[in-house]
Amino acid sequence: MEGKYRELHRLQLWRQLDRSWDPRRVFPVEQPLYLEIGFGNGEYLLRQAVDRPEHNFLGIEMHWGSVRRCLRRLAQAQSQNVRILQMDAHVAVRYLLPSQSIEKFVALFPCPWPKRDHERFRLFSTEFMGQLNRICRQGGLVVTDHRGLMEFARQQVAGSGLTLEVIETEARYNTKYERRWSGQGQEIFFELHYRPEAVSSYQMVPEVSVRTLTLDSFDPENVVLEGCLEGIVVQFRQHLYDPKREVFMALTTVIEDHLNQTFWIEAARKEGQWHIRPALGGGFLPTLGVQRALELLQKAGQPR
Ligand SMILES: C[S@@+](CC[C@H](N)C(=O)[O-])C[C@H]1O[C@@H](n2cnc3c(N)ncnc32)[C@H](O)[C@@H]1O
């Protein structure tokens, strides 16, 4: 295990990032920043970083296995101009990445989600592209092997403030997935070139400052927690009570938009009152859903 991903400074722990986080400020040298979404094993990301030392690169990838492999590659190459966020790109573009902070994005062979009822997982919806238009100064490039995804992207581009030009191409990016499809005989791929046409009408989701709530009395041994399944989903999964310390903890899942967060809420008795707030240490993005979960716990504790 040792040596596989020893140099963790390239990994940005997004649950612990401030909402005013700016990816331009996390590199040793501030220089134009480029984004790769869904970098997989990171070979293209690393090649770009080595070939273009005058640029910085931010990679977003959802799966830890891929992030781990990429961190190992970056450590071996001692590359200093790459940082990585392990998170869903839908969440990054809505909640985290500041306007005009990035030059261009690239996404190579993204998951096509071919089944109809999985279309909602696709990137490149109007909203996603509108957010990328807000974030990236010069648009960007998607390369896909999948005609259905290309057509979806064409239908969705209107309203994002970007234009889309589709060019047929042959294999030329030399990534794991390109090699896979070429190896299976595919010869034609699609380059989707997005260029800015109008200022994006999409905004970053505004920051919510999560307030600690209080209760004068609370019966932690008999409380019945009820979540909420409509709109913002709140689910109380389990709870614990330490009578010595007078601390009650509820493991809570909140789902809103593309964001799914699981964290502990604590209700602790101090100076005659119960204080309800997210427990320290877990990390969470402060959202309306987090505040809603605190309110539901407060409501459950109020006399009926
Ligand atoms: C088909 S693979 C392509 C990987 C690489 N670009 C290549 O060409 O070999 C798609 C990658 O996108 C990542 N991915 C899928 N959805 C994502 C999302 N919403 N946010 C971030 N990464 C995502 C997957 O984990 C996977 O590594």
Domain count, the chain: 2
36 lines ligand 1 (CB under 6 A): no
Specify if 201 maps to a domain.
no
Q: Tell me, yes or no, whether 44 and 80 share the same domain.
A: yes
Give the CATH number, domain containing residue 115. 3.40.50.150
Q: Tell me, yes or no, whether 218 and 259 share the same domain.
A: yes
Which residue puts its alpha carbon closest to atom 24 of ligand 1? 38
Ligand 1 pocket: which of 14, 47, 61 to mutate (most atoms within 8 A of CB): 61
Instruction: Tell me the DSSP string of 201-264.
Output: ---PPPP--PPPEEES---TTT-----B-SSSEEEEEEEEEETTTTEEEEEEEEEETTEEEEEE
Q: Tell me, yes or no, whether 125 and 255 share the same domain.
A: no
Instruction: Tell me the CA–centroid distance for residue 38 and ligand 1, in Å.
Output: 3
User: What number does the ligand 1 atom closest to the CA of 121 have?
Assistant: 19
For the full predicted model, state whether its pTM sits above 0.85: yes
Handedness of CA 63, 65, 70, 72 (dihedral sign): positive
108 lines ligand 1 (CB under 6 A): yes
Does residue 279 sit in helix, strand or coil? coil
Specify if 153 maps to a domain.
yes
Specify if 204 maps to a domain.
no
Instruction: Tell me the CA–centroid distance for residue 304 and ligand 1, in Å.
Output: 49
39 lines ligand 1 (CB under 6 A): yes
Instruction: Tell me the CA–centroid distance for residue 210 and ligand 1, in Å.
Output: 32
Q: Tell me, yes or no, whether 192 and 217 share the same domain.
A: no
Distance, CA of 227 to CA of 177 (rounded, Å): 41
Distance, CA of 93 to CA of 91 (rounded, Å): 6
Element (H, E) at 85: strand 82-86
67 lines ligand 1 (CB under 6 A): no
Q: Tell me, yes or no, whether 88 and 218 share the same domain.
A: no
* pLDDT by 10s per residue, the chain, length 304: 455 566 889 999 888 888 789 999 999 999 999 999 999 999 999 999 999 999 999 999 999 999 999 999 999 999 999 999 999 999 999 999 999 999 999 999 999 998 888 888 899 999 999 999 999 999 999 999 999 999 999 999 999 999 999 999 999 999 999 999 999 999 999 999 999 999 999 999 988 899 999 999 999 999 999 999 889 999 999 999 999 999 999 999 999 987 899 999 999 999 999 999 999 987 788 899 999 999 999 999 887 6
Q: Tell me, yes or no, whether 146 and 293 share the same domain.
A: no
Residue where a domain terminates, one of 162, 196, 230: 196
Nearest to 97, CA basis, from 9, 39, 37, 186:
37
What residue numbers bound the domain in which 50 lies?
8-196
Residue where a domain terminates, one of 165, 196, 227: 196
| Ramachandran bin of 52, using left for φ above 0, alpha for ψ from -120 to 50, beta for the remaining angles | beta
Ligand 1 pocket: which of 43, 88, 96, 111 to mutate (most atoms within 8 A of CB): 111
62 lines ligand 1 (CB under 6 A): yes
